[in-house]
Amino acid sequence: MLGYLPAAWKTPHLKKDAFVDPEYWENLGKTAERGTLDAIFLADGPLLGDPAYDANPIRLEPTVNWGHVAAATSRVGLVATASSTFNDPFELAERFLSFDHQTGGRAAWNVVTTRGVPAARNFGMPDIPFRDDRYERANEFVDVVRALWASAATGRDVHFHGGFFDIDGRLRVPPSKQGHPVIFQAGGSPQGRELAGRAAEGVFAAELTKNQAIEHYRLVKGFARSNGRSPDDIKILPGLLLSLGSTEEEARRRSDEIHDAGPPSYSIGWLSQAIGFDASKLELDEPFPEEVLAPIGNAQSFLGSIGFRESIITQIRKTNPTVRSYLKQTRYTGSGHAGFVGTPEQLADHIEDWFHAGAIDGFNLQPDRLIDGLDVIVDELVPILRERGLYRHQYETETLREHFQAASPTPPF
């Protein structure tokens, strides 16, 4: 909400309690729209986060928060994350279709299955369901929501009887300007990728290397094709953690300063939850032992993100760094999501390279600190991309789905 680094709040640019300040959110929305960005994105958090590894441990509910931003903007898309494990499909279908009306057809639902025992206990469950069970429910949940959104257009009742849900009825909310919200999927597990290929229009991916990204891009677009869809129907948008400066040295200094202002244990805490191993027990000046890099013993009960873990293990195996050097290099290379530290010109080169390589349709850019990082994206990066013919000069479409449909077609693969 304030940036991807835990010390993002330690800046005189932010007011106290900025994350609940309406002016803060309005300015973010207006700035993104000034840059003609497709959309801005919010994670959910049905639990109090652990600040040991969560840079944003407290959050506002995304659809309510974006409702406020919608009133201050007119074109930028608004992506809100919501769990298929801890919501009801009828209520979510009604809420998100209403949200889509409220935004003039700019809403998207990012489907996640949520991991972590504390979230489960907030909903009266003793433990988080196994991964396969969460995705089995997610698949059925998405089918119910799509059927209910379709019922808004046809006026016909939905009769759905599955393993998790029984629905006989329809929504009373009329279709929105774009018909219904865009569906995003986040998560790199095999089940998540299959769900994306079947139903999602956008994928928030985690890719640390270009080759990994190309492989994932083709895999998910291939799933779309095997489900009778066009590869153009789904946009692949990996996260990219950013620290930008007018020179590379300035960008590295900014990254170091914000990292150093955070708790020293943060990197270890984040890595531990990401790989499912207590990294504080590792020897800092030794390479990662094989037991850490080996495949997950039980993917069903693993509480981290499989996509994040895969990308981290691939990155470690590539150079075999010591634990200390890995933690240091992730300041600049990212961990889980890829990182980028440099100038806007260098970032434009990076985006152009991955785009022309068939690795991405775009990036979900995540500044170290939003309050001043987003301005640099809009005022310095976007003009460079426009000069290169890679980005729109003004909005030519109105809804989020139209923004996506106006994008470049998928290259042959």
pLDDT above 70: percentage of residues in the chain: 100
3-state secondary structure of 325: helix
With a cut of 90, say whether residue 325 has pLDDT above it: yes
Q: What average pLDDT score do residues 232-242 get?
A: 96
Distance, in Å, from the CA atom of 92 to the CA atom of 80, rounded to the nearest integer, reads: 12
The predicted pLDDT at position 301 comes to 78
The predicted pLDDT at position 349 comes to 98
The predicted pLDDT at position 70 comes to 97
Q: What average pLDDT score do residues 145-153 get?
A: 97
Sheet strand arrangement including 107-112: 39-42, 77-83, 107-112, 182-186, 202-204, 235-236
Q: What average pLDDT score do residues 364-383 get?
A: 97
How does pLDDT run across 390-408, given as a tens digit for each residue? 999 999 999 999 999 999 9
Q: What average pLDDT score do residues 213-227 get?
A: 96
The predicted pLDDT at position 36 comes to 98
Distance, in Å, from the CA atom of 267 to the CA atom of 327, rounded to the nearest integer, reads: 7
With a cut of 90, say whether residue 311 has pLDDT above it: no
Write the secondary structure of 205-262 as one string of H (helix), E (strand) and C (coil).
Answer: CCCCCHHHHHHHHHHHHHHHHHCCCCHHHCEECCEEEEEECCCHHHHHHHHHHHHHCC
How does pLDDT run across 89-110, given as a tens digit for each residue? 999 999 999 999 999 999 999 9
Residue 172 contacts residue 95 (beta carbons within 8 Å)? no
Please indicate whether residue 286 or residue 333 has the higher confidence score (pLDDT).
286
With a cut of 80, say whether residue 56 has pLDDT above it: no
The predicted pLDDT at position 310 comes to 85
Distance, in Å, from the CA atom of 243 to the CA atom of 8, rounded to the nearest integer, reads: 12
3-state secondary structure of 366: strand
With a cut of 90, say whether residue 153 has pLDDT above it: yes
The predicted pLDDT at position 195 comes to 94
Residue 405 contacts residue 359 (beta carbons within 8 Å)? no
Q: Which two tokens stand for residue 139?
A: 């698949």
Q: What average pLDDT score do residues 305-329 get?
A: 89
Fill in the DSSP letter of residue 343: -
The pLDDT confidence band at residue 305, using thresholds 50, 70 and 90, is confident
With a cut of 80, say whether residue 130 has pLDDT above it: yes
Residue 156 contacts residue 83 (beta carbons within 8 Å)? no
Residue 340 contacts residue 240 (beta carbons within 8 Å)? yes
Helix pair angle (323-333, 248-260), 10° resolution: 120
Range in 153-162, 232-241, 281-290, 308-317 with the lowest mean pLDDT: 308-317
Q: What is the mean pLDDT of the chain?
A: 93
The predicted pLDDT at position 189 comes to 83
The predicted pLDDT at position 115 comes to 82
Residue 268 contacts residue 279 (beta carbons within 8 Å)? yes
The predicted pLDDT at position 173 comes to 96
Handedness of CA 152, 143, 110, 211 (dihedral sign): negative
The pLDDT confidence band at residue 208, using thresholds 50, 70 and 90, is confident
Residues 6+ apart with CB under 8 A from 121: none
Please indicate whether residue 386 or residue 191 has the higher confidence score (pLDDT).
386
With a cut of 80, say whether residue 53 has pLDDT above it: no
The predicted pLDDT at position 332 comes to 87
Please indicate whether residue 76 or residue 411 has the higher confidence score (pLDDT).
76
Half-sphere exposure of 197 (CA within 13 A, CB side): 20
How does pLDDT run across 1-42, given as a tens digit for each residue? 899 888 999 999 998 889 899 999 999 999 999 999 999 999
The pLDDT confidence band at residue 57, using thresholds 50, 70 and 90, is confident
Q: Where are the alpha helices (DSSP H) in 53-189?
A: 62-72, 89-102, 117-122, 131-154
